[in-house]
Amino acid sequence: MVGGASLLQQIRDFLTDYRPQRLSHDQAIPAGVLLLIYEKAGEPYVVLTRRTEDVEHHKGETSFPGGAFDPDDGDMLTTALRETEEEIGVRAEDVEVLGQLDDIVTITGFLVSPFVGVLRRWPYPFAANAEEVAELVEVPLGHLMDERNLEEGRQRFGDRWWPILTYNYGDHRIWGATARIFKGFFDHLKEGE
């Protein structure tokens, strides 16, 4: 894996030319999320949230900041930035948006549009919304990019077994749509090396 500054440059270069796969799904709820990167002690990190047990969807899961589209948003990027500010206190003007990744449809009925951004300054005064966020989870990007930290398995949802990807970081389990987004992102980065 390349170092912090060069990895961020590699991500910038990749997203400059990348054209994400856009999906449509009449039955899915559109949602936007933000893969938010920042440099901490010379190493790129990503901030995730562990959701509270009080939220409507995905209780207790570790995921990107983001949420469902609101018609007042106008577009999915606005949704991702609005939800990020609501959940962890990061203002849109403090994020350099680098680009968009491939849309995914979740087994829970969401059509997720993921965006990648970099915090314009560090340290940053994150402010977790206690109603939605039980904990902020800061993960070194290199940990997630190391395939030794990725597990493949199966999980039952409803009456079917689904393939599942899981990253483990400390006592955090990063799985489902979040893991699929990370895996797709990392695979595309490797293709561009």
Q: What is the pLDDT of residues 33-91, one digit of tens each?
A: 999 999 999 999 999 999 997 866 666 799 999 999 999 999 999 999 999 999 999 99
pTM of the shown model: 0.93
Q: Beta-carbon neighbour count of residue 50 at 10 Å? A: 18
* DSSP states of 143-181: HHHSGGGEEEEEEEETTEEEEEEEEEETTEEEEHHHHHH
Query: Is domain 4-191 given the CATH code 3.90.79.10 in the classification?
Result: yes
Q: What is the pLDDT of residues 135-193, one digit of tens each?
A: 999 999 999 999 999 999 998 888 888 889 999 999 999 999 999 999 999 999 998 76
Domain boundaries, the chain: 4-191
> Which segments of 20-63 are extended strands (E)?
29-40, 43-51, 62-63
**Core vs surface per residue 27-47: b (16+ CB within 10 A) or e:** ebebbbbbbbbbbeeeebbbb
Q: Name beta bridge partners: 154.
A: 163
Distance of CA 161 to the CA centre of its chain: 24
